[in-house]
Structure 1
Amino acid sequence: MFLVDKPYISDFFKQTMMDSGIPVVATELSRQMDLYAGTNLISESRAIEMVQQNQSLPIYTTSENAISWITENLSFSDLPDKIALFKDKLKFRQLTQTIFPDFYFRGVNLNELQDLQFDQLPLPFIIKPSIGFMSMGVYKVANEKEWQAAKAAIVAEIDQVKGLYPDSVLDTNAFIIEQCIDGEEFAVDVYYNDAGEAVVLGILKHVFSSDADVSDRVYISSKEIVEENLTAFTRFADKIGRLAGVKNFPVHIELRKGRDGTVLPIEVNAMRFGGWCTTADLTAMAYGFNPYRYFYGQQKPDWSQLLQGKEGVLYSMVVLDNSSGFEIDAIASFDYEKLLTKFKHPLELRQIDFRQYPVFGFLLLETQEEDFAELQTILESDLREFITLK
């Protein structure tokens, strides 16, 4: 069964639910998500009953906001504890310590940040909320000046995002400090089948504008990216799954791969693929299969067949986060039409209410490799050219 919740579900997801007959739990919030007529809605009591009858039932959430429903209604199962292993980044590091024994990390409360002994921290390091979402509250620190700036920025950002998400999605009181992981960064959509085996449904490379960049601006998938990493990432996901003991369980894994091929996890997001119906929808547009259906039906992609004819093509997700430096209250509008003129083959533009959420939208693209400059430009852009101030 599937759970839907704010902030967003895509038309593609809605169409999939209607066409497939996959049961969707009729929560109060689901009625606010404009699901299509004909969607197979089931009552909350029926959903609970289904899990009581089969605690390995495949469950998918469109948003981590729905985790609170699972915690409140499915506490008789081991699902809330499995989710917590991944959602809490400190618990996840503790879980994986046996296979990554040399990795440095430590938990710290917000009120302890000012008193930390900087000279006892490994440089460079990353600080981020133990329970977080997207890149909120994430900072890379290489020296004491950056540490002072990061602490001030964290306090300011907490004030901006307070109340946007439940504590199960973003907890701004607890943080984790961990060593930087060198190498290329990837986002991988995976599910564990009823035998606990990892099935990879999508691989995207996270590209950055500089070494200091920790934003989520651009992710790219291609035939080359999938072929080069499918085997290694599947093996890696299998290791994580065996440690956690999960089955019929979807995850969105962020990881880094070193030059020597070593794979280290950044974080694993439980019960979903990429947030805001992004990565799974892009995979469907790019490679012609539906990740939601594949998870529900326990299907495995035939990547050798799916990648045929995809040479020289990049499929990208662009996160239009507010990097302008302008306060939201000072912005009158964002010019989406002008944005689209910058790309030869946009697949879908999703406009988001930037006054409610800290993004202008999401853009899904198809780009020929020789036109990579399109992606480089938006990667480096502060988006000011698309913004009109009040």
Structure 2
Amino acid sequence: MFFVDKPYISEFFKTTLRDNAIPVVATDMAKQLDLYGQTKLISEDEAVKIVQDKDDTIIYTTSENSIGWISKHLKFNCLPQKIALFKDKVKFRELTRSIFPDFYFKEVLIEDLKKIRFDQLPLPFIIKPSVGFFSMGVYKVSNYAQWGDTIESIFVQIEQIKDLYPQQVLSTRSFIIEQCIDGDEFAVDAYYNSIGEPVILGILNHTFASDTDVSDRVYSSSKVIIENNLEEFTDFAGKIGKLAGVKNFPVHIELRRQTNGTLLPIEVNPMRFGGWCTTADLSFLAYGFNPYLYYYQQKKPDWHEVLKGKEGKLFSVVVLDNSTGIDVEDISSFDYDKLVSNFENPLELRKIDYKKYPVFGFLFTETREDNFIELKNILDSDLNEFISTNAKMA
């Protein structure tokens, strides 16, 4: 059974639910998300009974907002505890300590941030909410001057984001400080099947504008990216899954390959693929198979066949986060047509209510590898060229 929740579900996902009669739990939020007619809805009581009768129920959530429902209604099952192993970044580091014994991390309560002995921290380091989402509250610190600015920024951002998501999705009660992981970053959509084996459904390279960039602006997939990493990432996911003891469990893994070849996990997001129906939808747009359905039906992509004819192409999702530096209330419009005109083969544009969420939208694109400049341009942009401001800002 699947759960749907805010902030967003795609038309592709809605179609998948309807056309394949996938049971959807009829929460109050599910009733507000304009699911297509003939979607198979089941009551919350029925959902609980299904899990009681079948311990290894296949469950997927479009949004981590649904974790709250699972924690409340499925306490009798091990699933809430398995989710917590991944969702809480401190618990995750403790879980994987046996694989990565030399990795530095430290939990700090929000009220203790200003009391930290800076000279005892490894430089550079990353600080982020222990329970977080969507790069919110994530900062890289390389020196003492940055540390002071970072603490100030954290408290400012807390006020901006504290009501956007449930506590199970984003909590600013505590933060984790951990060593900075260098190297190429990747995002992996996968699931652990009924016997705990990992199945990879997508691999994307997370490209950054600079060494200090921690944004989610561009993720790209290609034949080369998948072929070069599929075996190694499958083995990597298998080790983590074995420690956690998970089955029928979808994940979105973020990891880096260091210059010496070592793979280190950044985090593993439970019960979903990429947020906002992004990376899994991109796999369909790029390669023609449906990751949601593959998980539900326990199928494995035939990557040899899937990647035929994809030579020389980059398939990307561009996250149009509000990096303008301008208060959203002072932004009167975003020029989506101008944005799209900068790409040679846009596949799909999704506009988001940027007054409600800190993102203008998502753009899915196909780009020739030798035309990477169009992706580089949007990486370097603060998006100011696409917005108009209220008259009082002129």
Question: Which residue identity does 2:281 align to in structure 1?
Answer: D
**C-alpha deviations, 1:79-118, integer Å up to 9, x for none?**
0000000000000000000110000000001110101010
Aligned structure 1 segments of 4 or more residues deviating by more than 2 angstroms? none
* Alignment-derived partner of residue 13 in structure 2: 13
* Alignment-derived partner of residue 77 in structure 1: 77
Deviation at 1:370, TM superposition (A): 1.7
Distance 2:77 2:261 in 1: 37
Question: Which residue identity does 2:98 align to in structure 1?
Answer: T
Counterparts of residues 124-203 of structure 1 (less than 5 Å)? 124-203=124-203
Matched, 1:96 2:96: yes
Q: Secondary structure at the match of 1:165?
A: coil
**C-alpha deviations, 1:320-355, integer Å up to 9, x for none?**
011111111111111111111111111111110011
* Alignment-derived partner of residue 356 in structure 1: 356
Percent identity among equivalent residues?
Answer: 64
* Alignment-derived partner of residue 329 in structure 1: 329
Q: Secondary structure at the match of 2:354?
A: coil
Deviation at 1:75, TM superposition (A): 0.6
Distance 2:10 2:238 in 1: 29
Matched, 1:313 2:313: yes
Distance 2:142 2:259 in 1: 21
Question: Which residue identity does 1:97 align to in structure 2?
Answer: R
Matched, 1:35 2:35: yes
* Alignment-derived partner of residue 112 in structure 1: 112
TM-score by length of 1: 0.99
**C-alpha deviations, 1:306-333, integer Å up to 9, x for none?**
0011000000010101111111111111
Q: Secondary structure at the match of 2:377?
A: helix
Question: Which residue identity does 1:158 align to in structure 2?
Answer: I
Distance 1:50 1:245 in 2: 21
Q: Secondary structure at the match of 1:284?
A: helix
Matched, 1:296 2:265: no
Distance 1:162 1:246 in 2: 30
Q: Secondary structure at the match of 2:206?
A: strand
**C-alpha deviations, 1:99-144, integer Å up to 9, x for none?**
1000000000111010101000000000000000011000000000
Deviation at 1:371, TM superposition (A): 1.4
Q: Secondary structure at the match of 1:201?
A: strand
Deviation at 1:260, TM superposition (A): 2.8
* Alignment-derived partner of residue 246 in structure 2: 246
**C-alpha deviations, 1:341-380, integer Å up to 9, x for none?**
1111111111100111110111111111121111000000
Distance 1:297 1:264 in 2: 30
Q: Secondary structure at the match of 2:130?
A: strand
Matched, 1:268 2:288: no
Distance 2:38 2:261 in 1: 47
Deviation at 1:259, TM superposition (A): 2.6
* Alignment-derived partner of residue 204 in structure 2: 204
Distance 2:168 2:334 in 1: 31
Q: Secondary structure at the match of 2:309?
A: coil
Distance 2:347 2:32 in 1: 26
Q: Secondary structure at the match of 2:164?
A: coil
Distance 1:53 1:261 in 2: 45
**C-alpha deviations, 1:283-315, integer Å up to 9, x for none?**
011011000000000001100110011000000
Distance 1:41 1:383 in 2: 40
**C-alpha deviations, 1:228-265, integer Å up to 9, x for none?**
00000000000000000000000000000123321110
* Alignment-derived partner of residue 389 in structure 2: 389
Distance 1:111 1:348 in 2: 43
Counterparts of residues 222-261 of structure 1 (less than 5 Å)? 222-261=222-261
Q: Secondary structure at the match of 1:342?
A: coil
Structure 1: which 5+ runs fail to align?
none
Distance 1:58 1:259 in 2: 37
**C-alpha deviations, 1:12-60, integer Å up to 9, x for none?**
0000000011111111100111100011111111111100011111100
Question: Which residue identity does 1:335 align to in structure 2?
Answer: D
Counterparts of residues 41-52 of structure 1 (less than 5 Å)? 41-52=41-52
RMSD between superposed Cα atoms in Å: 0.6
Question: Which residue identity does 1:304 align to in structure 2?
Answer: H
* Corresponding pairs, count: 390
TM-score by length of 2: 0.98
Structure 2: which 5+ runs fail to align?
none
Question: Which residue identity does 1:205 align to in structure 2?
Answer: N
